[in-house]
Amino acid sequence: MQQVGDAVARVVRGGRVEARDALRALVGVLAGVDEASVVVVQRCPDCGGPHGRPVVMAPPAARDVGVSLAHAGEQHVVAAVRGRRIGVDAERADAPPERLAALGELLGEHPDPLRRWTQVEAALKADGRGLRVEPGAVHVDDASATARVPGSDRVYDLHAVELGDRLIVSLAVER
């Protein structure tokens, strides 16, 4: 687990069940509640399916914890912070050339397309609208390590997180 300011992130091996369990455990630690009492719901605003931005629904003492999940092959990254929005994204460092080409088409040329993509995707997740916003429209300011998503006044601080396992991980934490 890595602490980034008052946010925490950790890599999880296994399936989605293990990732959700780890997310509930992080919420339990941050909120000082029993992780068994933590309820995190994911519901897609478009189709109503059990995916999309995760939200802590219970217990009341934990409802202010912002959470996020990322999947990178067989590995998952979970992140949480109290009182603010958070987004996390992860890519495998050994991404195939086709993935790099696709990211270049989405974001334009960049010296580190995997890092840029994780920054953009983390900001979109923190924003809550995800890929309903054009990724290329997200403004990343490298000098201040911040991101802004069109249609919102929120500013997200961007952090590179070193979790090992040949993952490139970025966090976007609301200021």
Q: What is the pLDDT of residues 89-104, one digit of tens each?
A: 999 999 999 998 898 8
pLDDT band for 159, please (50, 70, 90 cuts): very high
Q: What is the mean pLDDT of residues 59-75?
A: 95
The per-residue pLDDT for range 98-145, each reduced to its tens digit, is: 998 898 888 888 889 999 999 999 999 999 998 899 999 999 999 999
For residue 153, the model assigns a pLDDT of 97
Those residues with Cβ within 8 angstroms of residue 146's Cβ, 6 or more apart along the chain or in another chain? 140, 155, 156, 157, 158, 175
Burial of 37 (0-12, 13-18, 19+ CB in 10 A): middle
Cα–Cα distance between 77 and 152 in angstroms, integer? Answer: 25
Those residues with Cβ within 8 angstroms of residue 129's Cβ, 6 or more apart along the chain or in another chain? 149, 151
Q: What is the mean pLDDT of residues 58-65?
A: 98
User: Which phi and psi (to 5°) does residue 6 adopt?
Assistant: -100, 10
Cα–Cα distance between 27 and 119 in angstroms, integer? Answer: 23
Cα–Cα distance between 49 and 78 in angstroms, integer? Answer: 20
For residue 46, the model assigns a pLDDT of 85
pTM value > 0.85: yes
In the predicted structure, residue 165 carries a pLDDT above the cut 80? no
pLDDT band for 45, please (50, 70, 90 cuts): confident
Cα–Cα distance between 34 and 167 in angstroms, integer? Answer: 30
Cβ(23)–Cβ(67) under 8 Å? yes
